[in-house]
Structure 1
Amino acid sequence: MVKRVVNVLVLIPIGILLIVLSVANRQPVTLALNPFRPEDSVLSVTAPFFVYLFLATILGLVLGALITWFTQGKYRKRARIEANEAVKWHSEAEKHRTRAEAIASQAVLPSPGK
């Protein structure tokens, strides 16, 4: 339910804003990748301006996700190590429990009447 509210309150206005920006910025713009000869057509790309806006947004999202992924790597590694350790201790406890049950079943308790 909360996810649906977040989608409605956040993502829909962002989508509307991106559509408005793309309609308002349809003029062709040339991106020159050669700083010394900007008129060079080999290293230039002409596209509507909203394409560059969308590409910059997508690139920012991907870079942000990658940076977040790599900076949280130490926490994921720690979680893996602790999960493996928990499994090891659980199996150790299970082994001791079965051993204790085996010893208890073999032990003969003296009767209280003697």
Structure 2
Amino acid sequence: MLRRIFNVLILIPLAIVLIALTVANRTMVPLSIDVFNPGNPALTYEAPLFVWLFGALALGVVCGGVGTWLTQGKHRKQERTFKKEAQKLRYEVEETKRKSGQDKGTTGQSLVLQR
């Protein structure tokens, strides 16, 4: 149900706008990579304008995703550290219970972790 609402409210209008943009921008446009000699045919590529627009959009999405992933690296590292520490502490608690003879399998006690 939620997927259907997402499709109707976001994806269908987005598809309509992208199709309209594509149809409206079909003319061939040159893209020159050589900034000092723009007339150089070896470094000039021609494609419809919508190709350049969608390419720039895709490049922006990829660069933004990579930038976000790189800036969140410290948080992922901290989370890994916390998970390792929590797992170590769980094993220590279970080992202490096992040694003291308190692990009788009664309810309310922590789970025994399998290695």
TM bin (shorter chain): 0.7 to 0.9
* Cα shift readout 1:32-79 (whole Å, capped 9, x = no counterpart): 111222111001000000000110110011011101101111111111
Give the secondary-structure state (helix, strand or coil) at the position aligned to 1:26: coil
Please state how far the C-alpha of 1:3 moved relative to its aligned partner.
4.5
Distance 1:45 1:54, change over 3 A: same
Aligned Cα RMSD in Å?
Answer: 1.4
Any residues of structure 2 matched to 1:63-78 within 5 Å, and which? 63-78=63-78
| Larger Cα-atom Rg | 1
Letter in structure 1 aligned against 2:15: G
Letter matched to residue 59 of structure 2: L
- Where does residue 27 of structure 1 map in the other structure? 27
SS at match of 1:42: helix
In the comparison of the two structures, how many residue pairs are matched?
A: 102
Pairing 1:48-59 to 2, within 5 Å after superposition: 48-59=48-59
- Between the aligned residues of both structures, percent identity stands at 45
Equivalence for 2:61:
61
Letter in 1 for 2:8: V
Alignment of 1:33-52 (within 5 A): 33-52=33-52
What SS class does the counterpart of residue 80 from structure 1 fall into?
helix
Q: Which residue of 2 aligns with 1:100?
A: 100
Letter of the 2:16 counterpart: I
Q: Which residues of structure 2 form unaligned runs of 5+?
A: 103-115
- Counterpart for residue 108 of structure 1: none
